[in-house]
Every structure is written in structure tokens, then in C-alpha cells.
Structure 1
Amino acid sequence: MDEIKIITPEDLQKKLEAGEKLELVDVREDEEVEEGMIPGAKHIRMGDIPAHLDYFDIDKEYIFICRSSRRSENVCYYLQEQGYKVRNMIGGMLQWTGETK
């Protein structure tokens, strides 16, 4: 199995502050995202990902986010097997120091 590409919360924050257009997907549960999501992230619960494959564009890279980065890593493996370009934000929202909404 190919390794999953990663991004650190710090690097992600820098890219967002630089105005980069990124495809962020938060795979946490509803009650978790109520505590705050990275602005611009799309919320698709981990369990709903298989039913939402039509949301993903094979030509774009998606950055996946969860609380600690374990669930998002699982989602990354799943989508990478389907041929999608993915990146896991390591450390998850526990390590995120940027703004949330």
C-alpha cells in the first residue's frame, strides 16, 4: 500500500494565509465540528464518504482532517485506493492553532 502524503497543521495554515485554494474535507462527527472547523472545509462524516464519492474530482487533491488524524488517515487510504489524490493533516484538530468557525 502506498504511503499517504501528509501536511502539518502549520503548513496548512501558511498555505491558507497565503490565499491558496485548497480542498479541505473534515470527516469528524456532527457534534465535533460544532466545536469549530477550519474555514472553507467541507464536512463529510467518515461513514458517509463512500456514499459521497461523486463529490470528489479525480484531478484535485483533497486534504482530510479529523480530531487526531487517525480517521482521516483511514479515509485517505480508502480514497487513494479509488484513485483519488489525498493528503492527511497530521495531528488533526488537536494540533490546529489557526482560526476556526
Structure 2
Amino acid sequence: MSDIMNVTVTDLGEDAAILDVREDYEWEAGHVEGALHIPLEQLPARLEELDPDVDINVICRTGGRSFRATTWLNQNGYSAFNVVGGMGAWFEADKPMVAANGETPRVL
């Protein structure tokens, strides 16, 4: 477990590559603008959508799913970092969010 690298939402730069592994309904309610959305269970089948030459910052709601995705990505040759606290921490840090459903962005 010590192999996992963590990053906080405040450490992420504006140009950071973010992979959101939450479910569709969570993504639609609110997400980081510019993030790539691949639900955790779809990650193995959609791995080709990720750039192996870019550090990937993986986010979910609180950090559990992103931890699993980060572990798996690192085992498969990617440079992945777990975003500590997930979208809850992102929201608490008052970082910008967008919603796919046209409503005020929120974290479910």
C-alpha cells in the first residue's frame, strides 16, 4: 500500500490531468471541468483513453475508488496519483466545478 502516491486537491495545478472514476450520476451532478470520466468498473476496457506519458490524478467521491484505480493503473505501467479526499475535498477547497445536468454543481 505504501507504493501509492497521494496528492491533495490544493497541490493540483490548473493543467493537471484528472481522471474521475465515479458513476455517471455522480459525474452529472458535479465534476472538475476538463476531467476525463471513466467509471471504475469500465477502466480496464477503456485504458487506451489514457495517455501513458502523463501523470494521472485519480479522483472519486472520498478516495476509496480512486485508491483502487490508482493501484491498478500503477500496476499497469501508468503514473497515477490518488487525490486525497476526492470530490468532497475538492468542494470543501472551493475549487471550480461544473455539472452535466445544467444544475448547480454538487457532490453526491
Give the TM interval when normalised to the shorter protein: 0.7 to 0.9
What percentage of aligned pairs have identical amino acids?
Answer: 37
- Please, what TM-score do these two structures have when normalized by structure 1? 0.87
1:75 has 2:72 as partner: no
Q: Distance in 2 between matches of 1:2 and 1:58?
A: 22
Consecutive unaligned residues in structure 1, runs of 5 or more: none
| Cα offsets for 1:51-98 (capped at 9, x unmatched) | 011112221110100000110010011111111100110000111120
DSSP-derived class of the 2:33 partner: coil
Secondary structure of the residue aligned to 1:67 is: coil
Residues 21-60 of structure 1: matches in 2 within 5 Å? 21-60=15-54
Q: Pick one of 88, 96, 99 that aligns with 2:96.
A: 99
The 2-side partners of 1:10 and 1:53 are apart by: 27
Runs of 4+ in 1 over 3 A off after TM superposition: none
* Equivalent-residue separation in structure 1 for 2:8 and 2:2 (angstroms): 19
Match of 2:102 in 1: none
Consecutive unaligned residues in structure 2, runs of 5 or more: 99-108
The number of aligned residues is 95
Two-structure CA RMSD over aligned residues (Å): 1.2
With structure 2 as the length reference, what TM-score do the two structures score? Answer: 0.82
